[in-house]
Each structure stands twice: as structure tokens, then as C-alpha cells.
Homo-oligomer: A and B are copies of this chain.
């Protein structure tokens, strides 16, 4: 398997450049990558913006047409699952019957890139999303092409916001607290993936590009360093 999962949040030049390098390498042997824009409302606009942002490379990316989605996926030699809202994305992956086709092509070795919501749905379930439940999916079950959960856009600790020039502490739950609520109900380990970071997964082993913190139901969380190698239980090699 050739899976690359990004956290998103590529809001700096450096991160943008790393993303371009990774995507270019990941799809180096692909000529017909299906881009799945279902995490957003405006499929055509989203696809057009993606193609434009990729420059000349954009020509080999083709937006999914939901009326012939399975056919398109089976004919593709690459899959790019775009970001947006994970509830919307997972609802539509089920609604349009795309789950099995996606699992099949990824199992066959077709490169898969997911970013943000596109990483959430690569996990066993979409339950470690940060998104707002703007629609009801038929199930939280997702593609399960990696055996662990990812919390994208992860950050440690509490946050601060600014208003009228003043800094304000925010008291809402930290990501650690939210993931610990998840672990009161579920046992799958969760990788809190910092923005601008990625996970490569070959079907048995993962490699971290960037920074992450791994959370477990019954043991203490651990920081993973750039280049860390780990298995499907997030046990370090």
C-alpha cells in the first residue's frame, strides 16, 4: 500500500513547498488521479482550485463525478481525498457507494493521499475529527486503510485568541481532553498529527514526516519525532 496522510494547515511557504514535493513524489507514476472533493459543498469550484494550486502537475488530477464515481475510482491510478468537513465527506462516501471501490484500489497499491478530512476518513472511523456535525452520515465507519486513528490539525495544550488587540485564554477542551473522551468509549490508538505533518503507511509500517503525539487508551501519550517508524498499534519500531 502507498498511503500518505496529511494533517492540513499548510499555511506557510515552507509547508506549501513540502506539500508540493510530497504530492509530486507520491503521484510520480500516476497519470490519472481522481480528486474527491466531497468534503466541501462546491465540488467543481474546489476541484478547479486544487488543479490551479498544483500548477502544471494539476493536469493529471480529475474531479470525481458522483454519477460515475465507482467507475472513475476503478479506472484511476491515484486517489486524492481532499479536506473540508468530515461528516459531509463520510456521509457522501457511503451515500454514493464509494467505500468498497476505494478500499480495493488502495489495497491494490494505488497511491492514496488524504489531507485533513481526507486523513480522517482513511482511519477505521471518522470519530477523531474536529469538524462540526453539519450533516448526519449513515455511519461513522470510514475506509480503514490505516488501522489507527488520526486527529488532524493537532496542537498541544490550551489555546489563546485575540480580540481588539487583547489576548484571551480559551477554556474549552484541549485536544488531549477530547481524545481522552474518545478513549472512554473506544480502544483504537490516536495519532495527534501537527499541522504541516504527514504519515506514510505501507500496509504494515508507518513513518512520520513532521511532529505528532500518540494517545493510547491504557498508557501514557508519547511524542513521535520526525522520521519515527511505527506499527499499526502506534508502537515505535
Contact A171 B157 (CB under 8 A): no
Known: A132-B130, A136-B140, A140-B133. A172 touches B185 (CB 8 A): no
Q: Give me the interface of A with B, judged by CB distance under 8 Å.
A: 8-11, 41, 84-85, 87-88, 126-136, 139-140, 153, 155-163, 168-173, 178-179, 181-182, 184-186, 195
Nearest CB on B from A22, distance (A): 17
Nearest CB on B from A107, distance (A): 26
Copies in the complex: 2
Known: A10-B171, A129-B132, A140-B133. A159 touches B161 (CB 8 A): yes
Question: Which residues of B lie under 8 Å from residue A88 when comparing CB positions?
Answer: 181, 185
- Give the one of A8, A139, A172 with max B CB within 10 A: A172
Give CA–CA (A166, B11) in the complex, Å.
17
Contact B157 A172 (CB under 8 A): no
Contact of A163 among B157, B169, B173 (CB under 8 A): B157
List 26 contacting pairs A-B, 8 Å CB cutoff, sorted by A: A9-B171, A9-B172, A10-B171, A88-B185, A127-B132, A127-B133, A129-B133, A130-B173, A132-B178, A132-B181, A132-B182, A133-B133, A134-B185, A134-B186, A153-B170, A153-B172, A155-B161, A155-B168, A156-B161, A157-B161, A158-B161, A159-B160, A159-B161, A160-B160, A171-B195, A172-B195
Nearest CB on B from A116, distance (A): 8
Question: Which residues of B lie under 8 Å from residue A129 when comparing CB positions?
Answer: 132-133
Nearest CB on B from A198, distance (A): 15
